[in-house]
Structure 1
């Protein structure tokens, strides 16, 4: 057996295609993958911009920001903008209820994992009763219990931060034609 017999191309079935023929067309799957990647980058950029604005507000005010719960809210808002959990009323009211639950638990109990869990459960109940279910708000309650921020500074910052998230979602949906319209309803 010689090297040429191993390295020669095997003939493919069908007519022989000349070497100077046009390259095959790219499959549609590649186009879909690129479109999906572009959408992910646009959404990620919108989420990052909103979170950077929130971090800047917190830095100027010298108040801790809720990056964990607000990052989760930003993801809900940008990935599923048509769902009830992403609507402006739900996002803003649920986080305020979470803060209220956190402060209520702190008034009755010392900060601990047990009281944080209780605050998360109270937030879940309050958002269910008010039809503003937004699971990241439960994390807001937990953060309040663990950090115990001053409510007179923290609550306005939280309100502003949720409004920034909503405005970021609104801007992102208007800047890109292919994006889902946000919000579906304001209240």
Structure 2
């Protein structure tokens, strides 16, 4: 898990984008240590962060960058995740990062999408390599 996060930091540094360590570290912890939970499944990881991204940029556009707006973004993200039946609480942190750091969407969104796909793929690979590990994912969609 650490090597995946270090790789993501390296990619972010090369692209001069904010580091997404808080939300992605939480996602990686779920995928690698609790792979059977609904919160760890690919749909939640990938779609959840994308929903958090949409909400983050929406709140940023409507309310600007402040701790108050970040709190609203996290709450709205959680509500949408529940409504979409796509549980993934670390996605709330993604919306907060966007509101507080205001990253350029054209570079940030592909980086985030690639990072979430990479987390899912490393979870899949790790579950195949470790003999007694539970299979990941429990379901894809």
TM-score (norm 1): 0.73
Alignment partners' CA distance in 2, 1:103 and 1:76: 25
Report what 1:184 is aligned to.
138
Give runs of ≥4 in structure 1 deviating > 2 Å: none
Figure out how many residues of one structure are paired with residues of the other and give that number: 141
- Aligned-residue RMSD, C-alpha: 0.9
Between the aligned partners of 1:131 and 1:159, the Cα distance in structure 2 is: 19
Cross-structure match for 1:172? 126
> Is there any run of 5+ residues in structure 2 with no aligned partner, and where?
none
Q: Report what 2:4 is aligned to.
A: 50
User: 2:61 aligned with 1:61, yes or no?
Assistant: no
The Cα offsets for residues 41-72 of structure 1, whole Å up to 9 and x where unpaired, read as: xxxxxx10211221122122221221111001
Greater relative contact order (Cα 8 A, min sep 6): structure 1 or 2? 2
The equivalent residue for 2:117 is 163
Q: When the two structures are superposed, what TM-score results if normalisation uses the length of structure 2?
A: 0.96
Structure 1 unaligned runs (5+)?
A: 1-46
In structure 1, the residue matched to 2:76 is: 122
Query: What is the deviation of 1:167?
Result: 1.0
Alignment partner, residue 77 of structure 1: 31
Q: Which residue of the partner structure matches residue 42 of structure 1?
A: none
Counterparts of 1:90 and 1:181, CA distance in 2: 17
1:99 aligns with 2:47: no
Please state which structure has a larger fraction of its residues in helix: 2
